[in-house]
Amino acid sequence: MMQNKFIDKKNFIDFSLGSLNLSLDLDKNIFLKKLNFIKNINNEIFSIRVENKLIPRNKYKIEKVFKKTDVHFTVISIDFSQNFENDFFKGRISFVQKKKNIIDFIFQLSARWHKNIPKKVLLKFPFLINLHKNKNFLKPGDIFDGKKRINKGVWNLHEYPPSIISDNLGNQCLGFEFYDQFPWQANYNLGISEAISNENFEKLETEVQLTRELTDIILMKIYTSSQGREKIFGLWKENTREKYDLRKYHDSKNRWIKKNYLQFFMFAYGEEAFDYKKMKFKIIQIIKEGKKFGGYDSILFWHQYPRLGLDESNQWQLYKYLPKYYKTIKKIVDICHSHKIKFFIPFKPWDIRSNESLDSHAKSLERFIKATSIDGFFLDTMSSLPDSFLKIQKKFPSFEFCSEGTPREQRQIESLTSSWDQIGDIRRNFKVEINSNFFRFLFPEHPLNLVSRWSVGSDKDSLIKRAAFNGMGMVIWQDIFGCWLPFSIEQKKNIKSLKSILKKYHKYFYGDNSIPLINTLSKKIICNEFSNSHGKQKIYSIYNFGSNKIKGRILKLPLEVKEFKQIYGKSANVKIEKKTNNIYLLANIQVGDVILINIKFDI
Amino acid sequence: MKSFENKKIFIESNEYTYRVEHLTLEGTCSTDHGPRNVKIKNLLVDKYPVTNQQYSFFLKKTGYQPRDSQRFLEHKPNKKIFNLPVVFVSQNDAIAYAKWVGGRLPTDEEWQYIAAGPKYLDWPWGNKFNPLLCNHDGNKLESVNAFRKGESWCGCVDMSGNCWEWTAGIHHDGNHQFALLRGGSYFYAHDHWHVGGGARKNSYHWKLQILNEGMNRAATLGFRCVYDAE
C-alpha cells in the first residue's frame, strides 16, 4: 500500500483510470477540479451537517491515498477523517474501473459517536450541483431544443439511465448513473434520482445513518464515450442488462406474445361486444371490425369489473353466469383461434377473498385453461407475476401473462414477458406526449401495448403517433367500462398502417441494438433508431415537436445508403444528400408529424 | 318462521327536487342526475321488499318460468327463509311478479322519494347513518321486517341495506343498456374496486350494466312494488 505519494505540493491529485482523467484538490475538503473535458468544476464532493451544524472545511484530514492497478481493475481511493465536537468521522472516496469506459465512483462514510448515541446527519454533494449546472448537462431523457433542456424520454422502472454531459461538439461524453434499484435497502444514492428528475441538486440533502463501519453513500457509475451520447446509452444498456436472466423471453414456445401488436379490450356490457337481441357475444363482428385496425392479435375479455362485489360471487364464479357457462368462452376462444387471434381473460388480485390464496386461483386458472383453451392471463392492476401463476407455464408452456403495469423490478422483468404501457391520468388535464419510452429500448424483447383509456380526439391521434414513434403495439379499447370512446375512421387507418409496418419490420423494431433519442440536426425534432445487431438496416422514427415545419437536413447518417423509404406518416419528401464525407437524411416534416424511415446501408 | 302482511302504504302526490349520485368508479351513468323537479303521482308502495313467500306464492299461482332461468331463485326459497327478501330475480322476473299483483317497479325517482320523503332525508330514518337500523355489512340476508325502526318517513322498511332493489326501466345510452339499483345490501365487499356495497344513502343509485339474465341476477338483488293510485 502506498500513501500520499500521488499528492503534489499544492495538495492536488491528478490521475487517470482508463478513459477517465480527473483532478482533485485536497487542500481543505475534497474538491473535484476537473473531469475529462469538464474543467473548472471546482466544487466540494460533499459537505456534512450534524444536528444542523455544518462541519467546517478545515476540519478534514487526508489520511491515506491508495492506488492499485492490475490486469483486472484499477482503483484509487482517498481516506479522510474529521473530528467534530465529540464525534469522529471517517470517509473514503474511491474510483474503481473494472470495465472499459465504466468507472465506479464510491463515497463512503462512518462515524464513531460520542457515548455511542447516533446523531442526525445530512449530506450535500456540491459537485453534483456544478455538474448539473453545466450547459451541456442532460438529465435522462432530456434533449436541447436550441434554447433549453426539455424532457422527451420516460422510464418507469428501477433502473436509471445516466445523465450525460458532452463537450460542445457532442462527441466527448460522460454519463452519470446513480444506481437505485431498491430505494429502501441502504443509505446509498438516497434522493438523488429524484433530485435529477426535479433539477433540484441544490436542495438535495440526504439523511444517512452512520455506524462505525464505512457505509456506501454514493455509488455513481461514470460512463465515458468519445462517440457521442448514443454510445453512453449503449454502455449503460449493456451494463444494466448483464445482470438480468432473460432466457424466458427467448423460449421459442412463448414467441407469439412478441407479435401481439394489437390487443382488443372486449368490454362485455355494451353493444360493441354483446347482441342484446340474440343475447350473445358478437365475436364475429368484433373480429371483422378489428380488420379496420389491421386485425387484432389478441382479445382481452372483460366482464368482472365493474360487476364484482354486487354479491359474494368471486371472479371465477362470474364466468358461470355467462350464457352456457364456460361454453360461451370456449366458443369465442375457438372462433378467435380460427382467426389466429389469441384470447386473454383478466385476473383481479383485489378480489382475492380471505379464504382464497394465489395457489387456489392458479388452480382455477388451470381448470379454466383446460376447459376453454385460453392463451393468456391479464394481470389487472399488477406489474408482477406471482410465483403461483409462474407454475402454470410449466404445464402450459405457451400460456402467456400480460400485466396492466410495466414491470419495474428485476425479478418481475425476468418473469413477466409482456405488459401494457399505460399512460393517462383521469384526474388531471392529461395530454398525451410523444416521447421516448426507455424501457422499450432497454428491454426490446418485452412487448408493450400502449394505452391511454380516457384519451379522445387529438390525444388519440397523439397516442397513435407515440406508438409509432416507439415502434410499439397498442390496446384497442373503445368501451371504457360503459363510456363509449371510439377511434375515428382516420385513426383506425393510421393504426392499421402502423400494425402492418410493425409486422413487416419486426426484427428491427424489436432488435437488440435500438437507441432512443439519437442526435439530430434539428433542435425541434426527436428521433429513435431501431436496429438489430447486424446494423445493415435501420428504422428511424422522427417527430417534429416544434411549432414550424422542419425542412432540410434531419440526421447525419453513419454509413453509405443503399436504399431508403418512408414507411409511415404523411409524405415528407425524404432524400439522401452526400456532401464530402458526410451523408445526410433530408425531409420536410409537418408540425406534430411522426414519420418512420427505413434505410438499408451499404455494408 | 311467522309470516306477516306486506301491506301497502299510500304516498300522496307531490313534487320534489331529484338529485342523485351514482356509485360507479369509472365509466359514466348516462342519466340526468339532477337537481331537477319531479312529480310523484299518488302511489301505493309495498311496506317491505317482496319476500320469498310472496314470490313462491306467485310461482305457485302462475307457473311463471323465465325464458332464461340461469340463476333464477338460485337460493331455493323454502319456508325457513320465507320472510327474507326474494333475490336471484332479474328485472324481468320482478316485473312479471309486479304485473301479477297489479303493480309495477318504482321509477328511480319514485324510489328516492319513498325513501327520502319531502324532507330530503339522507337515510330512510333520518340524516345520520345508524348501522343498527339496517342490515349493513352483515353476513347474510335478514327478514324484511328485522329493522322496523329503520323505516322511512312513510313507513317503508328495509329500504337501505339487506338487499339492493330494482327500479323500473332499462336505460339506453346508444351503446349500453343498464338499470339503476337502490338501497345497497348487507354485503360489503372489501376492496374499493368492488361495487360499493353495504347500506346506501337515499340519494345513491348504482348502475347495473345489463347482460344476460344469469348476470342480471344476484344474491343481493330483490325488489319492491308500487301501485298507481287514484
pLDDT band of A182, cuts 50, 70, 90: low
Scan for cell 462512518, then name that residue.
A110
The amino acid at residue A235 is L
Residues in chain B: 230
Please answer whether residues A32 and A45 qualify as being in contact, where contact means their C-beta atoms are separated by less than 8 angstroms.
Answer: yes
The beta-carbon contacts of B30-37 under 8 Å, at least 24 apart in sequence, are: B30/B171, B30/B173, B30/B176, B31/B108, B31/B171, B31/B180
B215 domain-assigned: yes
Q: How confident is the model at residue B86 (pLDDT cuts 50, 70, 90)?
A: very high
Strand order in the sheet with B43-46: B8-11, B43-46, B226-228
- Identify all chain B residues contacting A484, using CB atoms and an 8 Å cutoff: 173-176
The mean pLDDT of chain A is 92
* Position A65, amino acid: V
What pLDDT sits at residue A6?
63
Under the banding of pLDDT at 50, 70 and 90, the label for residue A189 is: confident
Residue B160 lies in a domain: yes
Residue in A311, A321, A481 nearest the CB of B27: A481
Q: What is the distance in angstroms between the CA of the first residue and the CA of the last residue of chain A?
A: 51
Q: Check whether the bond before A162 is cis (ω within 30° of 0).
A: no
Tell me which residue range forms the domain holding B60.
8-228
- Between CA B119 and CA B153 the distance in angstroms is 9
User: Does the pLDDT at position B215 exceed 50?
Assistant: yes
pLDDT digits 0-9 by tens, A489-533:
999 999 999 999 999 999 999 999 999 999 999 999 999 999 988
Check CB contact of A279 with chain B, cutoff 8 Å. yes
> Does position B70 have pLDDT exceeding 70, yes or no?
yes
Q: What percent of chain A shows pLDDT beyond 90?
A: 72
For residue A383, name the pLDDT band (cuts at 50, 70, 90). Answer: very high
Residues of B in contact with A320 (CB under 8 A): 214
Reply yes or no on whether the pLDDT at A555 is more than 90.
yes
Note whether B28 contacts A483, CB cutoff 8 Å: yes
Query: What single string gives the DSSP state of each residue in A101-167?
Result: TEEEEEEEEEEE-GGG----EEEE-HHHHHHHHSTTEE-TTEEE-SSSEEE-EE--SS--PPEEEE-
Is residue B166 one of the residues assigned to a domain? yes
Residue B192 lies in a domain: yes
pLDDT in tens, A262-271: 999 999 999 9
Task: Tell me, yes or no, if A425 comes closer than 8 A to chain B by beta carbon.
Answer: no
Q: Do A270 and B28 touch (CB under 8 A)?
A: no
Q: Give whole-number Cα distances, A438 to A44, A152, A470, in Å.
A: 32, 10, 9
Cis peptide before B85 (omega within 30 of 0): no
Number of domains in chain B: 1
Partner-chain contact A321 B197, CB within 8 Å: no
Residues of chain A with C-beta less than 8 angstroms from the C-beta of B214: 320-323
* pLDDT band (50, 70, 90) for residue A1: very low
Using CA coordinates, name the residue in chain A closest to B141.
A311
CA angle A259, A332, A378 (to 5 degrees): 50
Q: pLDDT at position B158, please?
A: 98
Work out the pLDDT band at A569, boundaries 50, 70, 90: very high
Residue B111 forms part of a structural domain: yes
Q: Which residue of A has its CA nearest to B70?
A: A321
Q: Which of B178, B195, B211 sits opposite A268 (nearest CB)?
A: B211
Is there a contact between A309 and B208 if contact means CB atoms under 8 Å apart?
no
Tell me how close the Cα of A383 comes to any Cα of chain B, in angstroms: 17
CA–CA distances in Å: residue A50 to residues A29, A57, A68 = 16, 14, 33
**CA B150 to each of CA B1, B127, B131, B142, B222: distance values in angstroms, whole numbers, following the listed order:** 21, 12, 10, 13, 18
Distance (Å, rounded) from C-alpha A401 to C-alpha A421? Answer: 14
| Predicted pLDDT of residue A73 | 85
Position A2 scores a pLDDT of: 40
Look at residue B1 and tell me if it is in a domain: no
Q: Do B24 and A279 touch (CB under 8 A)?
A: no
Q: Is residue B2 part of a domain?
A: no
Among all residues of chain A, which has the CA nearest to that of B206?
A310
List the end-to-end C-alpha distance of chain B, in Å, as a whole number.
35
Closest by Cβ to B176, choosing from A270, A307, A310: A270
Average pLDDT, chain B: 96
Mean pLDDT of A421-434: 86
Nearest to B226 by CA among B87, B111, B133, B115: B111
pLDDT score, position A191: 77
Which pLDDT belongs to residue A79? 94
Distance CA B77, CA B86 (A): 8
Report residue A5's pLDDT band, with 50, 70 and 90 as the boundaries.
low
Q: From the CA of B62, how many Å to the nearest CA of chain A?
A: 26
The reply to whether A313 touches chain B by the CB within 8 Å rule is yes
- The answer to whether B209 contacts A480, with C-beta atoms less than 8 Å apart, is no
B170 to chain A: closest CA residue? A276
Instruction: Report whether pLDDT(B3) > 70.
Output: no
A271, A279, A313: residue with CB nearest B176: A271
pLDDT band at A14 (very low <50, low <70, confident <90, very high): confident
A483 and B26 within 8 Å at the Cβ level: the answer is yes
pLDDT digits (tens, 9 = 90+) for A96-146: 999 989 999 999 999 999 999 999 999 988 888 888 888 899 989 999 988
What is the least distance, in Å, from the CA of B199 to any CA of chain A?
12
For residue B149, the domain's CATH number is 3.90.1580.10
Grid cell listed for B64: 311463471
Interface touch B70/A483, C-beta < 8 Å: no
Helix (H, G, I), strand (E, B) or coil at A208: strand
For A482, which residue in chain B has the nearest alpha carbon? Answer: B27
Q: How far apart are CA A437 and CA A538, in angstroms?
A: 18
Asked if A311 lies within 8 A of B185 by C-beta distance, the reply is: yes
What is each CA distance from A405 to A416, A434, A440, A451, B192, in whole angstroms? 11, 19, 14, 11, 19
Q: How far apart are CA A539 and CA A557, in angstroms?
A: 12
| Option in A305, A323, A426 nearest B193 (CB) | A305
Which of B194, B206, B221 best probes binding to A when mutated, by most A CB atoms within 10 angstroms? B194
| pLDDT value of residue A3 | 45
Over residues A459-469, mean pLDDT: 98
Domains, in order of start, for chain A: 12-241 (2.70.98), 256-504 (3.20.20.80), 525-601 (2.60.40)
Q: How close is the nearest chain B Cα to the Cα of A363, in Å?
A: 23
Question: Is ipTM beyond 0.90?
Answer: yes
Contact A307 B176 (CB under 8 A): no
Chain A partners within 8 Å of B180 (Cβ): none
- List strands edge to edge, sheet with A47-50: A53-54, A47-50, A121-124, A206-208
Residue B174 region, left (φ>0) first, then alpha (ψ -120 to 50), else beta? left
Write out chain B residues lying below 8 Å of A355, CB-based.
none
Q: How confident is the model at residue A71 (pLDDT cuts 50, 70, 90)?
A: confident
Asked if the C-beta of A269 comes within 8 angstroms of chain B's C-beta atoms, the answer is: yes
Cβ of B28 within 8 Å of Cβ of A482? The answer is yes
Q: Do A303 and B25 touch (CB under 8 A)?
A: no
Mean pLDDT of A321-325: 89
Which residues from B are below 8 Å from A when comparing CB atoms?
24-29, 68, 70-71, 164, 173-178, 185, 187, 189-197, 207-212, 214-215, 217-221
> Closest approach of chain A CAs to the CA of B202, in angstroms?
18
